[in-house]
């Protein structure tokens, strides 16, 4: 519905876009969330973002107009959706650039408003212009049907001279003064999504990433909110930049308390120069508001990302993987492969992925990247016999590739040394003994497409594990008019184009984004792929933290989560199969171990866990995810509840020694208060008598075969008495609606 009357204040399930020219007031609403903008004086002032509110323009302007302090400008510049310096704004501007030292100051004013609704949400296009600097800005806003705000910014240069762009915010969002804290996500290899909480004080908190990929160290996401916000309480805004390259995230608080949030692609010097008549559009920012803690924002993000995914086969269950890396590394022996295929089929795997080492000359990590031809010495009859064995075990076949990279010791590099990103006259450090191919060159992407297209055409490959194992350093092209100039931004755009081209040619193929584990896990890469490899670390102790952080922005079915060996090679920690499986269950399950070498008993246990995953994956991958607040810092609790509230699965993990001798009861979340649920304890660690003289009553009843039923209200209010757990132990609790109970 679109009107030109007074703005509607009634809650509506259908998206609504209302623009009132007389009152200079714009309102977008969807799924109970409302964005209201006061556009008076040609400025983009945020009036409201949150639950639908009955606020009129007159009321808002009367009650929100602030005082002006002494010793300041006579009229303080407003904090808007596009802060620039023309009105005296002294903070970080949404636009930085110049024309040979001129037109560096802008005063963008609203010139046009367009709004509409469709099945995807409520949309607004806000055009701003500055005649003096001869620049135009277009803000594209969508409040999706899931209640998620998506924004991108386009800069146009209608002038007669080039404009050198240094910074263009994809999103510039005023924040409430009551927001006092910020949660950022960083880390390193095998310790991704490490969380850090920051207090917001006067000044600028900035995170920058210059590694060329979204990176382990600087995840392009922030959560800002009220003091002490948690999974289940507090008001928050979760913001994520859908971009797989360099980025800048900042939160700035001025002396008057006004606060802004900006996210955007970080540009290297000279990377973006707009010729006369040219334009550039930023990546998209995805934002979710919640007044029920981080969970509320995550759940909206999960829904909107699920709605945009382009699956090769809609509604196909996420198949159980077996990946050969930790079983074989580069040793592709036919007999060993056959053993692994047979063992994988025996435990119930559904997809077999042949990892690194299958192409010519690839006997270690120092050579052959770029030479994407099958090694005839390892596979004298091609991949056909191996794929036939995989199919005979009821599995589909997948293949590892790393198309963006090249080893200097390769036929490709010796033939085309100018095909890499490099700066003439400067020595470039290698990363994993490899360089980065320049995807901005059509001859490079044509070569890569030809090789991948040939493989996918010659063999029934249904899955590509697309890896990327080094940061960009000397990210300059060596050809064309831009020779020697930065190409990091264009490299990411070229990657997206190559992936789209491959998907169009082979729509039946599913693609995983892997970058030394979780160095490229963003909504941008997921426009072209269907899964991320969350981390190279399969140690469930570390994985609990990693998956928890990733789940703030990505739903579980997109997070590769594999059961590794008892002895984790990334941490040297030893853990039980039950703990490894309980952790991996809440993702897209796979196996990252040599199944053929497992003892019969352990193989049988693994088969049971895979059967459990298959029985529960409809719930796990289609339900609503909940992370629970715990009183014990060494404890993690989370779960998934079906959309109708009829079924749920919760996992409670102990990662360190318990805080108290008796754990505090754990309230659950997401259930229907008036519904009764039948509890089933799926997993309890062995030999509980070593830790407890007596089990909680409901656990003892379960072990004795007695039915345990409780109301949703009690489970969410009082919670469950927990057994005492040692570090690296977990329990799994399955709930189903008990309709036969009054």
**Annotated active-site positions, please?**
467, 536
Distance (Å) of CA 124 to CA 2, 141, 238, 734: 11, 5, 21, 44
Beta strands (DSSP E) in 534-623 are: 559-563, 588-591
CA distance 741 to 714: 15
**CB contact set of 106 (below 8 Å; sequence gap of 6+):** 84, 85, 86, 93, 95, 130, 133, 135
Q: What angle do CA 270, 275, 277 make, to 5 degrees?
A: 145
CA distance 489 to 273: 12
Q: Which of 519, 573, 528, 578 is nearest to 546 (CA)?
A: 519
- The secondary element (H helix, E strand) that includes residue 622 is helix 600-622
CA distance 336 to 360: 19
Q: Which of 486, 562, 494, 552 is nearest to 523 (CA)?
A: 552
**Per-residue DSSP letter, 610:** H
CA distance 639 to 369: 41
Cα within 13 Å of Cα(35), Cβ side: 31
Instruction: Tell me if 488 sits within 8 A of 268, measured CB to CB.
Output: yes
Token match 């989370």: residue?
A: 638
Q: Which of 403, 432, 431, 433 is nearest to 419 (CA)?
A: 403
236: helix, strand or coil: strand
Instruction: Tell me if 699 sits within 8 A of 723, measured CB to CB.
Output: yes
Distance (Å) of CA 705 to CA 517, 680, 681, 701: 43, 10, 11, 6
> How many other C-beta atoms can be found within 10 angstroms of the C-beta atom of residue 67?
6
**Per-residue DSSP letter, 215:** -
- The secondary element (H helix, E strand) that includes residue 322 is strand 321-323
Q: Which of 176, 115, 106, 165 is nearest to 136 (CA)?
A: 106
- The secondary element (H helix, E strand) that includes residue 306 is helix 294-308
Q: What angle do CA 708, 233, 14 make, to 5 degrees?
A: 90
60: helix, strand or coil: helix
CA distance 23 to 40: 8
Q: What is the DSSP string of 136-183?
A: EEEEEEEEETTS-EEEEEEEE--SSS-EEEEEE-SEEEEE-TTEEEEE
Token match 């269907």: residue?
A: 530
**Per-residue DSSP letter, 549:** H
């Amino acid at each position: 519905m679109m009107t030109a009357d007074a703005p509607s204040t009634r809650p509506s399930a259908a998206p609504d876009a209302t623009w009132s020219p007389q009152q200079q007031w714009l309102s977008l609403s969807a799924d109970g969330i409302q964005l209201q903008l006061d556009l008076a004086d040609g400025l983009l002032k945020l009036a409201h973002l949150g639950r639908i509110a009955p606020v009129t323009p007159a009321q808002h302007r009367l009650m929100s107009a602030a005082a002006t302090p002494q010793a300041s400008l006579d009229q303080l510049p407003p904090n808007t959706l596009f802060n620039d310096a023309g009105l005296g704004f002294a903070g970080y501007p949404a636009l930085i650039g110049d024309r040979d030292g001129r037109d560096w100051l802008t005063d963008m004013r609203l010139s046009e408003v367009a709004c509409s609704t469709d099945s995807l949400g409520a949309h607004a296009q806000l055009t701003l212009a500055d005649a003096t600097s001869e620049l135009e800005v277009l803000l594209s806003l969508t409040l999706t049907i899931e209640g998620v705000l998506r924004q991108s910014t386009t800069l146009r240069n209608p002038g007669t001279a080039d404009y050198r762009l240094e910074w263009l915010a994809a999103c510039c969002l005023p924040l409430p003064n009551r927001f006092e804290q910020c949660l950022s996500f960083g880390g390193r290899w095998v310790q991704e999504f490490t969380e850090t909480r920051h207090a917001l004080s006067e000044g600028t908190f900035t995170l920058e990433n210059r590694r060329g990929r979204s990176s382990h160290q600087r995840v392009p996401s922030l959560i800002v909110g009220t003091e002490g916000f948690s999974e289940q309480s507090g008001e928050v805004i979760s913001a994520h930049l859908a971009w797989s390259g360099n980025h800048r995230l900042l939160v700035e608080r001025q002396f008057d308390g006004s606060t802004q949030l900006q996210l955007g692609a970080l540009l290297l010097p000279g990377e973006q120069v707009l010729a006369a008549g040219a334009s550039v559009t930023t990546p998209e920012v995805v934002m979710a508001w919640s007044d029920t803690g981080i969970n509320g924002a995550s759940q909206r993000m999960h829904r909107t990302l699920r709605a945009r995914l382009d699956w090769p086969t809609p509604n196909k269950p996420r198949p159980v993987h077996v990946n050969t890396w930790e079983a074989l590394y580069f040793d592709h022996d036919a007999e060993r492969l056959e053993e692994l295929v047979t063992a994988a089929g025996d435990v119930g795997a559904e997809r077999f992925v042949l990892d690194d080492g299958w192409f010519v000359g690839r006997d270690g990590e120092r050579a052959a990247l770029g030479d994407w031809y099958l090694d005839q010495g390892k596979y004298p009859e091609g991949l056909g016999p191996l794929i036939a064995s995989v199919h005979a075990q009821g599995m589909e076949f997948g293949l590892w590739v790393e198309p963006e990279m090249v080893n200097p010791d390769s036929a490709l590099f010796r033939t085309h040394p100018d095909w890499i990103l490099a700066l003439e006259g400067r020595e470039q450090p290698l990363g994993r003994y490899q360089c980065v191919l320049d995807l901005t060159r059509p001859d490079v992407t044509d070569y890569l497409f030809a090789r991948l297209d040939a493989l996918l055409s010659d063999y029934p490959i249904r899955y590509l594990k697309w890896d990327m194992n080094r940061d960009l350093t000397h990210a300059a092209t060596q050809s064309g008019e831009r020779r020697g100039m930065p190409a990091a931004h264009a490299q990411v755009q070229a990657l997206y184009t190559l992936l789209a081209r491959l998907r169009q040619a082979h729509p039946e193929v599913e693609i995983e984004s892997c970058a030394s584990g979780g160095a490229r896990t963003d909504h941008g890469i997921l426009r072209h792929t269907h899964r991320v490899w969350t981390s190279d670390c399969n140690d469930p102790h570390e994985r609990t933290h990693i998956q928890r952080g990733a789940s703030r922005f990505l739903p579980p079915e997109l997070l590769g989560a594999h059961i590794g060996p008892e002895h984790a090679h990334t941490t040297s920690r030893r853990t039980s199969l039950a703990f490894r499986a309980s952790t991996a269950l809440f993702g897209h399950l796979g196996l990252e171990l040599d199944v053929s070498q497992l003892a019969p008993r352990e193989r049988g246990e693994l088969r049971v866990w895979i059967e459990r995953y298959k029985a529960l994956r409809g719930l796990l991958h289609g339900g609503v995810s909940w992370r629970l607040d715990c009183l014990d810092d060494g404890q993690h609790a989370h779960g998934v509840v079906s959309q109708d509230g009829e079924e749920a699965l919760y996992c409670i993990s102990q990662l360190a020694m318990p805080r108290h001798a008796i754990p505090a009861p754990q309230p659950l979340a997401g259930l229907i208060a008036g519904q009764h649920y039948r509890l089933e304890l799926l997993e309890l660690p062995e030999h509980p008598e070593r830790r407890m003289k007596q089990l909680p009553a409901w656990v003892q009843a379960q072990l004795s075969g007695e039915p345990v039923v409780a109301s949703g209200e009690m489970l969410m209010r009082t919670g469950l008495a927990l057994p005492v757990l040692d570090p690296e132990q977990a329990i799994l609790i399955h709930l189903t609606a008990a309709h036969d109970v009054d």
